[in-house]
Amino acid sequence: MITAWGRGPRAGGGAAKRGVEPFSAVRPGYADGMAEKQEFRRGDHVSWASHSGRAYGVVKEKLTERTHVRGHAVNASEEQPQYRIRNDDSGRDVAHRPEVLRRER
């Protein structure tokens, strides 16, 4: 039998050999492994992880339909909204999903 971790139920070693449970996508405290989606409003100060550390900006609008921001397609919908944010440093608009945003004070 071949499993996601190798051949047989405990063949090979790794986590099974050490008596550790295999990785689970569901984290304790979360219903389905995803953090709860936050709601943001126009004017909210937010931050997100960028390649150079944390980036900061202000929410301009909630996007609920497919659109383009700075030439990039944004696949937003009513079920999976995204937010248009004006970056504080560059002044450019970006779009992000709510789960990557953190409300700043």
Whether 104 and 78 map to the same domain: the answer is yes
Whether 19 and 47 map to the same domain: the answer is no
Range of the domain at 8: 1-34
Whether 15 and 60 map to the same domain: the answer is no
Strands (E), 1-105: 2-3, 6-7, 45-50, 53-63, 67-69, 72-74, 82-87, 93-96, 102-103
Whether 99 and 57 map to the same domain: the answer is yes
- Alpha carbon distance 78, 84 (integer Å): 15
Whether 61 and 100 map to the same domain: the answer is yes
pLDDT, tens digit (0-9, with 9 covering 90-100), for 17-42? 556 556 555 545 444 445 566 899 99
The chain-wide mean pLDDT, for the chain, equals: 81
User: What's the domain count of the chain?
Assistant: 2
Whether 69 and 102 map to the same domain: the answer is yes
Q: List the structure tokens of 100.
A: 């990557």
